[in-house]
Structure 1
Amino acid sequence: MGYWKEIVEGGWSLVEGMRVTVRRLVKPVVTVQYPRKRLEMSPAYRGHIEFVRFPDTGTHRCIACGTCQRTCPTGVIKVQGIKEHARGGKVATHYVIDFTRCSLCGLCVESCPTQTLKFSREYELEGDSRWDGVIDLMERLEDGR
């Protein structure tokens, strides 16, 4: 009895698989000719993190508190800052992140007390070596990228 049951279940699995295949054959092709035609990203797309450029100062508001560094589960964020004046607050000088190991969880964006981090809409971040993924966000902000 088990032998015939396996044959019937296998036949049913084959019929279901062919039904899915035939249904996909009649649908239109959704391939995008990528370099010539750009992809339209969903509004919910979350790329790598970057600094927000505030219009009143023309730069970021990172105070190098290290909250993002402490909340990062993969430990890929390194923040350094200096205190320019004795009574003033700290200002970030280096914000280095290794995007090759970043899990894009968003904890750094959510935990930032000054809301100076956001998700990018960029999806073409590539490189030739592993070290191309280690990026200083301060340099990117200064370069205008």
Structure 2
Amino acid sequence: MGYWKDIVVGGWSLVEGMKVTGRALFKPVVTVQYPRQRLELSPAYRGHIELKVFPETGTHGCIACGTCQRVCPSGVIKVQGVKQHARGGKVATHYVIDFTRCSLCGLCVESCPTQTLQFSTEYEMEGPSRWDGVVDLVTRMEESRS
């Protein structure tokens, strides 16, 4: 009896699978011809991390506190800052992150006390070398503004 039951169950799973295939066969194609056509990204898209530019100051608000560096589970963030005035706070001069090992978990964005980190909407960050993924966000922000 088990032999015939296996044949019936196997045949039924084949019919169910063919129904799924048949439905997908007649749906329109959703392929995007990438270099000529661009994808419409969702507003919730989370790309790589970047520094937010505040319009009041015209620069980032990173105080080089190192919270993001400590909370990063991959250990790919290095922050350096300098005090510009004796009584003033620190300002980040280098914010280096290795995107080749970054898991894009978002813990650095959530933990930032000045809310100066955000997710980018850029999805074309490639390079011929592994070292093209190691980026100084402060330098990148300054280059994009000029």
Calculate the TM-score normalised by the size of structure 2: 0.95
SS of corresponding position for 1:81: strand
Runs of 4 or more, structure 1, over 2 Å off, are none
Q: Which amino acid aligns with 1:118?
A: Q
Alpha carbon RMSD of aligned pairs, Å? 1.0
Matched residue, 1:136: 136
Distance 1:66 1:109 in 2: 12
Matched residue, 1:43: 43
Q: Which amino acid aligns with 1:133?
A: G
Distance 1:30 1:120 in 2: 25
Counting only pairs closer than 5 Å after superposition, residues 1-145 of structure 1 correspond to structure 2 as 1-144=1-144
Aligned-pair identity (%): 81
**What whole-Å deviation, never above 9, does each CA across 1:91-129 have from its counterpart, x for those lacking one?**
111100011111111111111111110000111111112
Distance 2:72 2:10 in 1: 47
SS of corresponding position for 1:13: helix
Q: Which amino acid aligns with 1:136?
A: D
**What whole-Å deviation, never above 9, does each CA across 1:19-75 have from its counterpart, x for those lacking one?**
111100111110111110110001110000100111111110100000001111111
Q: Which amino acid aligns with 2:94?
A: H
SS of corresponding position for 1:144: helix
Report how many residues are paired. Answer: 145
Distance 2:11 2:131 in 1: 51
Gaps of 5+ in 2: none
Calculate the TM-score normalised by the size of structure 1: 0.96
Distance 2:10 2:132 in 1: 49
